[in-house]
Structure 1
Amino acid sequence: MSKSKHILIFRLSAMGDVAMTVPVIRALVSQHSDVKVTVVSRPFFKPFFEGIPNVSFFGVDLKRRHKGLAGLWCLYQDLKKLDVDYFADFHNVLRSKIVRTFFKLGGTPVAVLDKGRAAKKELTRVENKVFKPVQSMVENHLNTLRKLGFDVSLDNPTFASVPPLLPELKKHTGEKDCFWIGIAPFAQYDSKVYPLDLMQEVIDILSERERSKIFLFGGGEKEIAMLNQLKRDNYNVVVIAGKVKLNAELNLIQHLDLMLSMDSGNAHIAAMYGKKVITLWGATHPYAGFAPFNQPMDYCITSDREQYPLLPTSIYGNKVVEGYENAMRSIDPLRVVDKIVEVVNEETK
């Protein structure tokens, strides 16, 4: 019996970026029966990979054991014990560069993610902008694996089967007897957040629809307080943030029929489970390669480039051009509702 080929995949953060590796890894082990994978990431993301055959998880301790340069040497020593055959750097940052160098010096074949920075710079620059799609991050991951000799296709992706709804969720959700919509209205940067007064309109209109229930996602006391304001007295709107842990939130997302999200982690988490995902875009744009996996482009609702021709102004949303602070106000709430209703109607045909 031939020995399994052991690939170590290194991606520490952020939430959405880690979630985007899941469909790739699921396809890799499905299409290569002789491959096993160890994902190296922050312990918080371990639930993303649970249940995928031949995939193990190694949680990095960046606060103690694996802190600093000496800690990264310790991390290399810990990982070397796993008998790794290949090292795939899906992150390509200073920490991963150091660890992969240790592996390379030790004779392990290494492949590195090409982030396509030049094309992204052309897309976001103010002058001589090249407004065309760059290669997606998912395709970049596939190319990294190809460098190691592993061809993987995502033409017909598979997703995890939906598990039973956790009992701890039922006291918040009730039994599923209608269409379930998730809404994640926040993002890391304000330039990616749909104005809350407009989001309020979206929620209020959707809540008037019979046989639908809306779940609001977020985190932290400030966001939870704002979510409770968005809920108002709508009986079929539930603030799930702060009430359950991550594993239960992931379980709920698997039972959603649709997720409305900003350009943020929740979009990618829902997409990795094969959910329908509608996203709203401000300073950023799906052409930058971060559109949710396996979603039609018309599910990405972007700010008006006729009114704001310099969009996108940023890859991650951390840069805003003066005068573009209100770009997302060019997205009409009725346009968002109409797209959700359209997708709901497609699902219920």
Structure 2
Amino acid sequence: MRILVQRYSALGDIALLLPVLAALKRDQPTVEIHLVSRPFIKSLLGDLDIYFHAADLDQQHKGLLGLWKLAQALKQEIKPDLVIDAHNVLRSRILNSFFRLLGLPVFRINKEREARKALVRHKNKIAKPLKHSSIKYAETLRRAGLQFNFSEKERALYPLKEDDTVNDVPSSTAKFHLGIAPMAKHKAKRYPLAQMEKVLAHFGGNKDYHFYLFGGQEEVADLEKLAQAAEINYSMIAGKFRFPQEIAIMRKLHLMLAMDSSNMHLAALAGIKIISIWGATHPLAGFSPLGEHEDLMVQVPRKELDCRPCSIFGNKECFRGDYACLTNLAPEKIIAKIEQALNP
């Protein structure tokens, strides 16, 4: 069987999808998996036995005509037996219609949109856990007749090519090697840098600790400023490596400290301990990192701040205006989690 899976963003969502596809390939090795996504996602596939197809959604495949061309090209090139819509947004639904016109069965993920709205509304919240996103992907594949085993609590399947290893990292002789990804796209998911500086300063000047800073190229200057202000021993990883190489580096670390962000999910692919900081978003929404990390999540309890969560993706401004879900998190609480993880 040959299947086409479409998911166009975001990086963290793709990181939650790939271990599901890897589990399918493990249990159903004759299934041929094709993933269509934006070009930058290709490098994230690592050594996974998955075929990649780039969708140029900004130019060649833009608009209705562009999407029709994309559907035709994928049908002709791949000749899939079925299509999995792992995104369920307007663009993918338009493509679904085109695929059906071309005679292909389509199976679409259920995003539990009504339950999401109930979880984040200001009044009369229904704070019940939604299904984990990776479980939703797995269920969509199973509805298509593809049976395999997968659990969001297991270590994520993510094989790496030998040439993705980075032999000179870590280079420090420190006792503990810690990754940190303090940035996030949205303010409601980003721990204030002044408070993060206090967290890192606790370890400043101590040769037993070496930090590895992860993020985008555009964040390097802020990361340098943070590390120097905290006087920590550090190596800058941001902007220097491809995704599989970053994950290979993460695998050599004792833990990763991250926001609810793509780096949190990349660390899950690395299979290391993850201390995650949650603000406006909440693990109840189904986007927690794969594996067993509940005891290392840092957040203001809902009984202390019942407006949480106010957003699924963290892309809304705080209606209170003070971002208390983040500013009320004492640096000492995060320091305690780090020490707990390093000395269980």
TM-score, with length taken from structure 2: 0.91
CA contact (8 A) 2:282 2:309 kept: yes
Deviations 1:85-137 (A, max 9, x none): 11000001111111121112222221001111111111111111111211111
Deviation at 1:209, TM superposition (A): 4.7
Q: Distance in 2 between matches of 1:43 and 1:207?
A: 39
Alignment partner, residue 135 of structure 2: 139
Deviations 1:28-49 (A, max 9, x none): 1001122110111111111221
Deviation at 1:72, TM superposition (A): 0.8
Alignment partner, residue 193 of structure 2: 196
Provide the aligned length of Structure 1 versus Structure 2: 339
Q: Distance in 2 between matches of 1:167 and 1:289?
A: 31
- The yes-or-no answer on 1:160 pairing with 2:155 is no
Q: Distance in 2 between matches of 1:227 and 1:183?
A: 10
Alignment partner, residue 341 of structure 2: 343
Among 311, 322, 332, the residue aligned to 2:330: 332
Q: Distance in 2 between matches of 1:312 and 1:198?
A: 21
- The yes-or-no answer on 1:89 pairing with 2:85 is yes
Kindly tell me: are residues 139 and 167 of structure 1, through their superposed partners in 2, closer, same or farther at Cα, counting changes over 3 Å?
closer
| 7-16 or 241-250, which deviates more | 241-250
Alignment partner, residue 211 of structure 1: 208
Alignment partner, residue 256 of structure 2: 259
Kindly tell me: are residues 74 and 20 of structure 1, through their superposed partners in 2, closer, same or farther at Cα, counting changes over 3 Å?
same
| 275-284 or 293-302, which deviates more | 293-302
SS of equivalent to 1:232: helix
Among 222, 233, 237, the residue aligned to 1:236: 233
Aligned amino acid, residue 332 of structure 2: L
Aligned amino acid, residue 146 of structure 1: R
Aligned amino acid, residue 79 of structure 1: L
Deviation at 1:334, TM superposition (A): 1.7
SS of equivalent to 2:78: coil
- Structure 1 spans left out of the alignment, 5+ residues: none
Alignment partner, residue 293 of structure 2: 296
Alignment partner, residue 94 of structure 2: 98
Kindly tell me: are residues 253 and 64 of structure 1, through their superposed partners in 2, closer, same or farther at Cα, counting changes over 3 Å?
same
Deviation at 1:138, TM superposition (A): 0.9
- The yes-or-no answer on 1:68 pairing with 2:63 is yes
Q: Distance in 1 between matches of 2:133 and 2:89?
A: 15
SS of equivalent to 1:206: coil
| 174-183 or 287-296, which deviates more | 174-183
SS of equivalent to 2:191: coil
Kindly tell me: are residues 306 and 165 of structure 1, through their superposed partners in 2, closer, same or farther at Cα, counting changes over 3 Å?
farther
- What pairs with 1:110-189 in structure 2 (closer than 5 Å)? 110-155=106-151, 156-157=154-155, 159-161=157-159, 170=168, 173-174=170-171, 178-189=175-186
Kindly tell me: are residues 20 and 176 of structure 1, through their superposed partners in 2, closer, same or farther at Cα, counting changes over 3 Å?
farther
Q: Distance in 2 between matches of 1:95 and 1:225?
A: 35
SS of equivalent to 2:115: helix
SS of equivalent to 2:41: helix
Aligned amino acid, residue 127 of structure 2: F
CA contact (8 A) 1:23 1:157 kept: no
Q: Distance in 1 between matches of 2:336 and 2:257?
A: 12
Aligned amino acid, residue 330 of structure 2: D
CA contact (8 A) 2:47 2:159 kept: no
- Structure 2 spans left out of the alignment, 5+ residues: none
Kindly tell me: are residues 158 and 216 of structure 1, through their superposed partners in 2, closer, same or farther at Cα, counting changes over 3 Å?
closer
RMSD: 2.2
SS of equivalent to 1:140: helix
Q: Distance in 2 between matches of 1:99 and 1:204?
A: 50
Deviations 1:260-281 (A, max 9, x none): 1111111111112322211101
- The yes-or-no answer on 1:56 pairing with 2:27 is no
Aligned amino acid, residue 315 of structure 2: N
TM-score, with length taken from structure 1: 0.90
Q: Percent identity?
A: 37
Deviations 1:7-52 (A, max 9, x none): 1110000111111101101101001122110111111111221211
Aligned amino acid, residue 307 of structure 1: E
Deviation at 1:186, TM superposition (A): 1.1
CA contact (8 A) 2:56 2:62 kept: yes
